[in-house]
């Protein structure tokens, strides 16, 4: 990389946890609850959910790594010579090009002011940091995903397992929300209620699909 790009990046395990854990928890909650009511064999149920769990973890790692790279397209606060040439080749007049350049400059100033107001830290890209962030995000995704899956692994009576999974998920959501409130210095009750609402929406979505396709 010829130029050190600066962007909003993972600030450590806290960010990775806040991103990865709820994604894994809710995704596997949805797929396990949905599949347990569909006409699939026990082995198919385990295979499908295991594949979703592992492939989801891999995709989350890739996404986290790419997010830590940042986007060089938005690093510049002014119109580059190459971009200006492209606009000129499109027969765009000089006044319009100057207006675009001025707008880019204003956007860059507003973005910096927003980051400063929200106390968001930007940092240079680090290959080791990006890999570490991706791995931790993936691991937290897998940790969140195993919780709704675990009751089904322990009990092949999927009706009973589904009830246990539901209990596990809503306890996990509550604990996660309390941790998030401490890590982000926000009020706990709104976060708990919002995340419980997300969990309820996931359950309702899976239930509606079951009713329609069962």
Distance CA 74, CA 114 (A): 15
48 shares its domain with 132: yes
| φ, ψ for residue 124, nearest 5 deg | -75, 155
Statement to judge: residues 82 and 64 lie in one domain: no
Contacts of 209 (CB under 8 A, 6+ apart): 34
Indicate whether 77 and 181 sit together in one domain.
no
Asked which of 45-59, 88-102, 125-139, 154-168 is least confident by mean pLDDT, the reply is 88-102
Q: Which domain holds residue 109?
A: 73-124
Q: Are residues 170 and 130 in the same domain?
A: yes
Same domain, 107 and 206: no
Burial of 16 (C-beta count, 10 Å sphere; 0-12/13-18/19+) = buried
> Does 46 fall in a domain?
yes
In eight-state DSSP terms, residue 120 is P
The distance from CA 178 to its chain's CA centroid, rounded to whole angstroms, is 19
Beta carbons within 8 Å of 184's beta carbon, 6+ residues apart: 18
Residue 63 above 60 pLDDT? yes
Q: Which residue has the higher pLDDT, 17 or 97?
A: 17
Residue 3 counted as domain residue: no
DSSP per position, 122-171: EEE--HHHHHHHHHHHHHHHHHHHHHHHHHHHH-S-HHHHHHHHHHHHHH
Do 47 and 92 have their domain in common?
A: no
Convert the pLDDT of each residue in 151-206 to its tens digit: 999 999 999 999 999 999 999 999 999 999 988 888 999 999 999 999 999 999 99
pLDDT digits (tens, 9 = 90+) for 107-155: 767 756 665 654 445 556 677 777 888 899 999 999 999 999 999 999 9
How many structural domains does the chain have? 2
124: which strand partners?
A: 6
Q: What's the pLDDT band for 27 if we cut at 50, 70, 90?
A: very high
Does 19 share its domain with 119?
no
Q: Is residue 106 part of a domain?
A: yes
Task: Identify whether residues 86 and 108 lie together within a single domain.
Answer: yes
**Is residue 29 situated within a structural domain?**
yes
**Shared-domain flag, residues 133 and 169:** yes
**Assigned domain for 4 exists:** no
Residue 5 lies in a domain: no
Rounded Cα gap, residues 16 and 68, in angstroms: 11
Q: Round the average pLDDT of the chain to a whole number and report it.
A: 83
The band of 95, judged by pLDDT with boundaries at 50, 70 and 90, is confident
Which secondary-structure segment (H or E) carries 6? strand 6-8
Whether residue 5 is predicted with pLDDT greater than 90 in this model: the reply is no
Same domain for 168 and 207, yes or no, is yes
Same domain, 157 and 207: yes
């Amino acid at each position: 990389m010829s130029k050190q790009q600066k962007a909003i990046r993972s600030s450590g395990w806290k960010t990775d946890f806040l991103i990865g854990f709820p994604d894994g928890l809710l995704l596997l909650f949805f797929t396990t609850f949905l599949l347990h009511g569909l006409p699939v064999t026990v082995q198919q149920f385990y295979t499908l959910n295991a594949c979703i769990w592992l492939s989801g973890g891999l995709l989350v790692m890739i996404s986290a790594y790419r997010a830590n790279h940042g986007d060089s397209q938005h690093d510049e606060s002014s119109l580059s010579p190459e971009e200006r040439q492209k606009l000129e080749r499109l027969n765009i007049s000089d006044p319009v090009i100057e207006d675009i350049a001025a707008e880019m400059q204003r956007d860059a100033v507003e973005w910096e002011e927003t980051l400063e107001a929200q106390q968001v830290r930007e940092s240079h890209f680090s290959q080791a940091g990006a890999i570490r962030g991706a791995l931790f995000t993936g691991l937290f995704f897998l940790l969140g995903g195993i919780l709704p899956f675990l009751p089904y692994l322990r009990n092949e009576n999927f009706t009973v397992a589904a009830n246990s999974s539901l209990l596990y998920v809503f306890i996990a959501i509550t604990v996660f929300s309390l941790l998030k409130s401490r890590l982000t210095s926000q009020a706990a009750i709104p976060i708990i209620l919002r995340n419980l609402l997300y969990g309820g929406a996931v359950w309702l979505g899976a239930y509606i699909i079951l009713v329609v396709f069962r």
